[in-house]
Structure 1
């Protein structure tokens, strides 16, 4: 086989270039600190690195979600705390106004302060977050949740859903609560039933909001009083209780004295003061009523109160209903605040778990792709020696020609 001078030199050049390529690869590894600089270096390990980086990216996103959820829930907790303070102040003013020593003008001043507090509470329910989204609209974050209706009431334009963020591989957490759940899903009365005095009542009877004795049997009932005035001026009072069908629950003529307990169908209440003949009170199951309406009713009662005894009785009855209604509202908000606190604690726990998980991923990733510097330096020196040998060999071969032997 013939071996030409060109062929001999080409073999030497190829060997030198191969050594340069290997040296360049090792130098790049040392410079980047990575054993795998391109997929072809180790296809199996490169695929694993890609998977680990995706997993790490997901964990980091979950940590960002935790930070976002914490910001939102902390803001919500603060708003609910302010709402509780407002309701507590309204309760104090209602107790203050529920006093016969106040003049109509005094009650007007109280009504104005209560009305301002109600507006403040209304604005809190329409709070927005840092991005301008309404916090208590459920999933309808672009819509103002609460608005005044045409008839003077309050309307809710959000929904009952909650928004969730992924904070762990298989864990989501609610980052808010709907305004309906916080401010509207509140049972009026004592939570089981509520008692109303008739607007036509003439006496000064004041009924207690009542409590349950055993299980309250749902239904609508009427407590109707009768009054008999004897020639000597003495008075006898009696009452009866009927249901919505007119069926007798407690028979007519049942004697009644001021403060006596009235017990039927799980209802336990009493009346103070003197009812006129035909005065009555109705009992119905509790229904959801927003806290704004509860406060608005006491405002109207305070503004409409005059000096006569029946007006005073109406105010006292409304005040009593308001007090138990405010207690229900505060209880509801405190329950929501408790869940918010629990979610904040859950975020702290999951954040620690995610940090540990990220550390494990980074350690595994380091083992797969990071360079062993001691081994790499040894290999670098070896490649340098190999390149120098190739260069020297090329220099010697370059000066050799077959014509020197002819």
Structure 2
């Protein structure tokens, strides 16, 4: 096969250019320290580097999220420290208010300080983070969680969920706690009731009193007390009582002592423990009168039912009213009735739609129905309400449950403040009502502080988790960087040797080309 002179020259130029390109690439690898300049340099290594870069970006984001979570949880914990200090002062004042020697003016002074404490708590529970978001509004962090109503009560406007951040590939952590779980969803010690149902004919005025009751054991209350409610406590004599449950069964032996006796002369009444509830039986006999007149008193006591607050929209065009409100189906009510209440909007004279409270533009109805007739009854999630008048299309009502099962910390302080501001009369019932209000407030404040402390323990556990994940994240980042370096970075010794070889090969090619280019057929003649 014969080669033309042009082919020889073209072949040598191509080879020379390739050799020069190889040298330039090797020089770039040495000068930059990066071995893989393009994916073509090492397709497998380039693909692996992309995976490692992806992992690095995730690790960096996890690190940022952990910093955000740490800052938020640390700030929340500091606020809760202040909340605990304020609640501790409130408890001290409440204990002081229980002193029977205090005058109305003294209790009024305590009530004034409790009002100041409510203001401090309002500021704390409405705290914001560095980004201006509310700490305790749940996932609805742009809404102020607590507002004070004109009647002195408080409303929680946040939701019951939390904001979560991804801090590891398989770990999400709550970075806040809702005001609902912290300050609202606290078991109420006074979720029972008692009422006088029968008084001996011979008694001119009431001489025996049964307190509302305090729940001292939540588990026993839920498992035993609820099922037998309502109960009847009957005084059989001046020293003996009997308790029967809703079915009429005698359950006196389950009361503390087991023999159904009480002391009519006890200065602070007789304490009766029964199925997780503590009751006080007080006797106020006129001077010189014996306890034998006590026989025949009857009291009903049990689980306090929920009550409902109904607010009529001022823009309603009809005169219709919704009144009453009772739980018809406890299971459905407990599982379905929204905690913040509902908004009922009528679409005609009988049909209505139900929305969760607060109602926002674009919200979808959670239920719908029609009024029954004779009498008109409105049914929502196991609760029934009476309707008077004929509703018009567009009429709107807000229905909120006033449950006795839980009581917020602010409500506890507000209720106690009102009780302390009410002057005491000389009647025994007035004094006992104040004693019960103070005992209930102390119990509820203790539960509230325990709830805050439990949340702080949870925050500490989350911060410990973040510390562990931070160490793990740093270790993975170091491993990632090391692996990337081993794939991407230039091996200087190997690259230098390769460069010398490429230079030698290029010089040899140049020298041989010079020799070959000078050859011709005339040299052989």
Q: Please give the TM-score of this superposition, normalised by the length of structure 2.
A: 0.65
Alignment partner of 1:308 is 2:426: yes
1:274 to 280, 284, 287: 284
Paired with 1:324 and 1:22, the residues of 2 have a C-alpha distance of 84
2:230/2:300 contact within 8 Å kept? no
Higher relative contact order (CA 8 A, sep 6+): 1
The residue aligned with 2:501 is 382
Give aligned pairs, total. Answer: 392
1:195/1:209 contact within 8 Å kept? no
- Cα separation, partners in 2 of 1:112 and 1:273, compared to 1, 3 Å: farther
The residue aligned with 1:105 is 105
Question: When you count helix as a share of all residues, which structure comes out higher?
Answer: 1
Quick check: 175-184 or 382-391, which moved more? 382-391
Q: Per-residue displacement from partner, 1:253-281 (whole Å, max 9, x unpaired)?
A: 97642243434445443345637987968
The residue aligned with 1:68 is 68
- The CA deviation at 1:344 is 0.7
2:409 to 287, 291, 303: 291
Three-state SS of the structure 1 residue aligned to 2:78 is: helix
The residue aligned with 2:438 is 319
The residue aligned with 2:455 is 336
Structure 2 unmatched ranges of 5 or more: 197-204, 254-259, 287-293, 305-403
Alignment of 1:4-403 (within 5 A): 4-149=4-149, 151-189=151-189, 194=192, 207=211, 209=214, 211=216, 215-216=220-221, 217-218=225-226, 219-221=229-231, 256-257=263-264, 258=266, 259-271=269-281, 274=284, 282-284=301-303, 287-306=405-424, 308=426, 310=428, 311-392=430-511, 400=518
- Cα separation, partners in 2 of 1:183 and 1:197, compared to 1, 3 Å: farther
Paired with 1:103 and 1:387, the residues of 2 have a C-alpha distance of 109
Paired with 2:5 and 2:273, the residues of 1 have a C-alpha distance of 122
The residue aligned with 2:331 is none
- The CA deviation at 1:55 is 1.4
- The CA deviation at 1:327 is 0.6
Paired with 1:269 and 1:179, the residues of 2 have a C-alpha distance of 31
Quick check: 210-219 or 115-124, which moved more? 210-219
2:214/2:277 contact within 8 Å kept? no
Three-state SS of the structure 1 residue aligned to 2:188 is: coil
Paired with 2:469 and 2:449, the residues of 1 have a C-alpha distance of 30
2:192/2:302 contact within 8 Å kept? yes
Three-state SS of the structure 2 residue aligned to 1:160 is: coil
Paired with 2:123 and 2:244, the residues of 1 have a C-alpha distance of 43
Q: Please give the TM-score of this superposition, normalised by the length of structure 1.
A: 0.83
Three-state SS of the structure 2 residue aligned to 1:47 is: helix
2:12/2:513 contact within 8 Å kept? yes
Paired with 1:141 and 1:321, the residues of 2 have a C-alpha distance of 32
- Cα separation, partners in 2 of 1:374 and 1:243, compared to 1, 3 Å: same
- Cα separation, partners in 2 of 1:255 and 1:383, compared to 1, 3 Å: closer
